[in-house]
Structure 1
C-alpha cells in the first residue's frame, strides 16, 4: 500500500525535534520536584500522530521490538488521524539520557512518517 500524503515534512521534523528537545529538560525538572532523582530510571509514555493506519503499524513494529508497549487508534475527533502510544522500557532520568531518547524517538517517527508529540511518565513507578 503506498502512502497518499506525507504527514510530516523534513522542515516540520526539524522544528519538532528542536521543540521536543527544549521541552524535555522542563519536564525532567518537574519530575525532580516530585521527588524523582537522576539516578532513577522511569518508563516513559510516548505519543505520535500520523495520517494512515499502515504508517501507525509500521512505527509500532520497531517500538515493540525495543521492548516497548505500543497501540494505535484513529482519533474520534479528528478522522484520518492516528494516535500511536505506549510505554518505553526504563530510561535514566538525566537530561543527557532523556534528550538522547527524545531525539531517537523523533527520528524513528520521522522515518515512518509519524510525528513524535512528546512523552510523559508517572513518577511513582
Structure 2
C-alpha cells in the first residue's frame, strides 16, 4: 500500500475479492441444478429454449458499463444503474438470447457468467426465467 492509499476513493477499490468470487461461484453452481429441478416441475424440458434474466452487482458505474458492453456483445438485452436497495452499488441486469434448457447448458452458462463477472470486478448474483415467453 502506498503512503497516500487512504486517499483513494472507496469506489475505486476492488469490489470482488478472490474469496468472495470463489464462494459466490460455488453458491451459483450449486443453485443452478436446483433451479433446473424446479423448472422441470413446471414442464420446462431439456429441448425447450428460453431467455434467462440475469443479475450482477458492482461498486462503480464504470465497471457496470464495461460488463454491460461485454454482455451486449453476446446479443443480450442489458441495462445498468444504481441499486434501489443500496445506492453505493450498481446493478447490471438483462435477458439472454434464447438458450436450450438442458441442465449441462445452463450450468455451463452459469459458470461462464460467474467468470465473466469476475473479469469485470462484478458479482454474478444469479438468474431466473419464466416458461411463458
Aligned residue pairs total 124
Counterpart secondary structure, 2:40: helix
Instruction: Find the counterpart in structure 1 of residue 4 from structure 2.
Output: none
Aligned-residue RMSD, C-alpha = 1.3
Q: Distance in 1 between matches of 2:47 and 2:85?
A: 40
1:77 CA displacement: 3.0
Question: Alignment partner for residue 93 of structure 2, among 60, 71, 85?
Answer: 85
Q: Structure 2: 5+ residue runs without aligned partners? A: 1-8
Structure exhibiting the larger radius of gyration computed from Cα positions: 2
Map 1:1-125 to 2 at 5 A: 4-125=12-133
| Inter-partner Cα distance in structure 2 for 1:17 and 1:76 | 24
**So what's the TM-score if we normalise by structure 2?**
0.89
TM-score for the superposition, normalised by structure 1: 0.95
Could you list the structure 1 runs, at least 4 aligned residues long, displaced by more than 4 angstroms after superposition: none
**Cα shift at 1:24:** 0.4
